[in-house]
Structure 1
Amino acid sequence: MADKTKVTEQYYAPPPDLGGWESFRIFLWNSETGQFLGRTGSSWAKILLFYVIFYACLVGFFAGLLAVFYQTLDMKVPKWQLDSSIIGSNPGLGFRPTPETSNVESTLIYYRANDKGSVLKWAKVIDEFLHTYRRKGSGSGEVPGAENRVACSFNSGPLGDKQVCDVPVDDFSPCTPANQYNYEQGAPCVFLKLNKIFNWKPKLYNTTDDLPGNMPEDLKQHIKSTSGKNEANMVWVSCEGENPADVENIGPIQYIPRRGFPAYYYPFTNKDGYLSPLVAVLFEKPRTGVLINIECKAWAKNIFYDRYERRGSVHFELMVDRGFGCDVTTGAMALQKRTIKIIVITVITLLIIGALLGILLGLLLRSDKVALEVWPRGADGSKEPKIAYKVSDNSSYLPWVRRINDTLSEYNKIRTGSNAGKLVKCDYNTKISPDQVCDVDINLFFPCTAANKYNYQNGKPCVFLKLNKVSNWKPNPYNTTDSLPATMPLDLKQAIKPKSGQLDMNEVWVSCEGVSEADKNNIGSMQYIPSPAHGFPSYYFPYTKEPYLSPLVVVMFENPALDTAINVVCKAWAKNIVEGGEQVAARFQLKVDS
């Protein structure tokens, strides 16, 4: 009894440790269990059966959905039409031949009339386009429904249920394949067609009562000649150069077989064998060697024109070249005349653009703020120059002398030129006429003259100050001691005090001093020239015309500390040239080496 109730002891044995290749071999085929890729034959059969049934149900489900969906569609009639559809109700205008498909953005028709290969290239493109129009039968290889095409005219009766109007492209002489579509004659044909829009019917301009104002005059005259006739029931076509030069170069144009698309081709209802009507535009004498921009438009009351979006129109370029053919002389002369014309137009255009840019830059760069300027400027044109030189070395100070000479030469040109008669010597009691200006006599600036090298050779350099030109600006001077600002230097206040209430108080005062305490100690004494002036007299203002001489104040530094860089700030003082709470100022550095 004890043996029956005894629990059999079981032990876990780890799987044998197999190598990588041995494990993979057993995974492929396990001979002990009969498993292939980890599954037995029955397991593989079950899972394959499951997926066959699963995918069959999926296919059946989607097939049923598609069947229901196709029941809602008519393969001949679109569900959404005209304005309800994506393409809308405004047909586009297309042209043939078009350039190679590798360059889809190009609309240029370019060829050499005397090059057979160049001509045949475009003729082949047109042949391929018109191939459908020439297939008339219903046999093997023919277009389905080609047998439905019948000849139509403006006097034809209604078409049958399956009938469509034929387009007799072989009657478009001289735009025929036998003539290579007239490309060899240098008078190429370009074919136009309207895009197909289901059930679209044109609203025609068949009378002269409501013609649009932008319709070309020659087309208006053509409509007038056909008004009241069946031939007036057309979607009219016009082609013209886009720009004045293109209008001149495009030459006369023919429209073949008629100037538009007859109304009996519409509406398009997707009948088998339907052909879009064509108009062949024959450019009789386009100027050779010239790129011509051409725009063609379709005219109907329900065709709306928009050049930007190319609605109701098409754009292409035409360039006919004759290379080295028989018209070389004529072509060269025409090209030479055109080249001269282009050069003249370009030069005139550039001059006008330059003048406009000059005026614009003058307005943009014109300063409306009064500023104090320091001369001489630095070698790099810096407005805050570092004037450093050695007294004993004339090569170090002569560049500064030359820069001052260059500045004052502008004064000399006016004082000795054709405008010298307009200059008058001014003071506070002088009244000048509107065509006169006050003179600035630079010879009164002694010893700061060119003959003395502006005192640079004596270690007492002269620095010239002037205000920039601001049109119609008048100074509001500090002309009494009551209103002098607290920040004005004491020496300038002392110079103004004796003149209080006098006419020569009406000046834009000038002061110069060191920036730091050390600079103030090193700057030494200064003299303002012409003496006894201490600024710019107000009778020089306002600046309203040319010629004009800006007044100058020369500051001579009589004994600056040698071998020391001195930072100097000069200020102009008037009530209406305060900037940021302070008077306008000019800064520079002065260093005189022994």
Structure 2
Amino acid sequence: MSDTKDSDSDSGTGRCAGCMESTSEKFRGFLNFLWNPEEKTVLGRGGKSWGRILIFYLFYYAFLAALFAVSITIVLGTLDPNEPRFQTRLQAPGLSIQPKLDASIKRTSDVIFTAGQADTYTQYTNTLTEFLKPYKENQATLNNCTNGKVKINQQYSMEKPPPSCRFDLADLGPCRNEPYGYDVGRPCIFVKVNRIIKWYPVGFTDLSKAVGNADSNAPPLKDVLMARNRAYDPNRMYVSCYDVTSGNQTYLNTAAGVSANTMYYPEDNGIPFKYFPYYGAFLQKDYMTPLVAVQFNKVTRNVDVRVRCKAYALNIQDNERMRIGYFTFTLRVNE
């Protein structure tokens, strides 16, 4: 029995020694592959071989870089710096509102506060003040355009840029100064139409067509104008904000149907066509998007009200999927 154990131990020791020798040989072979002092090769290649392959790849990658540079130059040469080549997804503008809180605070357009408690609405009033700063700075520099019609069929360039019309902040009425009605529970918001290069609104020739579709459920424009005793101007794009929670606007106006309790500034709640079209930041660096201020004076307290704001123009078709024609947010005034 003892002889058997000794024999097994000797065989195990022999196998271990063989493993060490095999590993050592492999390691020496690897080092020899990295640098062979006898053949003067590195990674199996001599100096001439490495020289040829380096020259080949140098010219190869230089060719690819030149081809890429030429391709980019050709493509950029065909692009107009003033506007995108394709705007197929931007046939009509969407709407947006302010205040829209910054992501550092809470990225949302919902307006929820308590009347009379400054700590609940300061974030909104600060946002509106910051938003209006560029408008105030450009009051004295931009053109006071008097023609209310669309500027179309005109050629502009850097030498002859299109006029940028001044938006008069006085037209915003009580919504032009802090605290924008939030202190008394009558909040103001600013509605604007998103910019689309060379797009301009078209007025209605038949006011019966100025209605929202199933996506927006907007009230007819004639009802909006009638509630404020305003005549329709075909050279204006109108804005209306309405309650889609109650179905009859009672939460927003404390009255059924379209009500004068929701105020609009400018007082005709329309955007003159003189601000359109927009020709892009390259030609109109000082362009300021026109605004409509909306003040909600009779909001039902302690209720989440889904408010929807719509722009009326013949070439704006409401589309929920593309977010065209209207904007929806939540308004809640607590007390």
Same fold (TM over 0.5): yes
Match of 2:181 in 1: 182
Structure 2 counterparts to residues 418-567 of structure 1, below 5 A: none
Distance 2:51 2:124 in 1: 64
* 2:60 alignment partner, SS class: helix
Match of 1:289 in 2: 302
Selected match of 2:272 from 252, 262, 279: 262
Structure 2 counterparts to residues 3-402 of structure 1, below 5 A: 19-81=25-87, 85-88=88-91, 90-99=92-101, 101=103, 107-136=109-138, 149-154=142-147, 161-169=161-169, 172-176=172-176, 178-205=177-204, 212=211, 214-221=219-226, 225-227=230-232, 233-244=235-246, 247-251=249-253, 252-258=261-267, 259-270=269-280, 271-273=283-285, 274-306=287-319, 310-322=323-335
* 2:183 alignment partner, SS class: coil
AA aligned opposite 1:96 = Q
Number of residue pairs matched?
Answer: 290
- Rate the CA distance shift 1:20–1:171 in 2: closer, same or farther, 3 A: farther
8 Å CA contact retained: 1:92, 1:195: yes
8 Å CA contact retained: 1:233, 1:263: yes
Note the C-alpha offset of 1:310: 4.7
Q: Deviations over 1:179-215 (max 9, x none)?
A: 1333233211111111222222212147868755951
8 Å CA contact retained: 1:211, 1:220: no
Distance 2:60 2:150 in 1: 60
Distance 1:157 1:200 in 2: 10
AA aligned opposite 2:293 = A
Note the C-alpha offset of 1:110: 1.3
Note the C-alpha offset of 1:266: 0.9
Note the C-alpha offset of 1:221: 2.5
8 Å CA contact retained: 2:182, 2:188: yes
Distance 1:47 1:125 in 2: 62
- Rate the CA distance shift 1:265–1:73 in 2: closer, same or farther, 3 A: same
Distance 2:67 2:172 in 1: 55
- Rate the CA distance shift 1:211–1:173 in 2: closer, same or farther, 3 A: closer
8 Å CA contact retained: 2:225, 2:231: no
Note the C-alpha offset of 1:171: 5.8
Note the C-alpha offset of 1:75: 1.4
Distance 1:168 1:250 in 2: 28
Identity across the alignment (%)? 29
Distance 1:43 1:285 in 2: 86
AA aligned opposite 2:163 = Q
Note the C-alpha offset of 1:218: 4.4
- Rate the CA distance shift 1:58–1:182 in 2: closer, same or farther, 3 A: same
Gaps of 5+ in 1: 1-15, 138-145, 323-594
Note the C-alpha offset of 1:313: 1.6
Q: Which has the higher contact order (CA 8 A, sep 6+)?
A: 2
Q: TM-score, normalised by structure 2?
A: 0.72
Q: Deviations over 1:85-117 (max 9, x none)?
A: 2222x2222222235549999653212334433
Note the C-alpha offset of 1:264: 0.4
Distance 1:243 1:305 in 2: 19
Note the C-alpha offset of 1:154: 4.4
Distance 1:42 1:317 in 2: 74
- Rate the CA distance shift 1:157–1:208 in 2: closer, same or farther, 3 A: closer
Gaps of 5+ in 2: 1-20, 155-159, 213-218, 254-260
- Rate the CA distance shift 1:205–1:157 in 2: closer, same or farther, 3 A: closer
Q: Deviations over 1:57-97 (max 9, x none)?
A: 0111122122222222111133345xxx2222x22222222
8 Å CA contact retained: 1:205, 1:233: no
Q: Deviations over 1:253-298 (max 9, x none)?
A: 1112340211101112223222221111111232221111111111
8 Å CA contact retained: 2:97, 2:109: no
Q: TM-score, normalised by structure 1?
A: 0.43
8 Å CA contact retained: 2:150, 2:274: no
Cα root mean square deviation, aligned: 3.6
8 Å CA contact retained: 1:226, 1:232: no
Distance 2:229 2:262 in 1: 19
* 1:172 alignment partner, SS class: helix
Q: Deviations over 1:513-567 (max 9, x none)?
A: xxxxxxxxxxxxxxxxxxxxxxxxxxxxxxxxxxxxxxxxxxxxxxxxxxxxxxx
- Rate the CA distance shift 1:171–1:37 in 2: closer, same or farther, 3 A: farther
Note the C-alpha offset of 1:317: 1.1
AA aligned opposite 1:296 = C
AA aligned opposite 2:174 = P
Distance 1:260 1:287 in 2: 26
Match of 2:258 in 1: none
Distance 1:269 1:157 in 2: 12
Note the C-alpha offset of 1:156: 9.3
Distance 1:129 1:76 in 2: 25
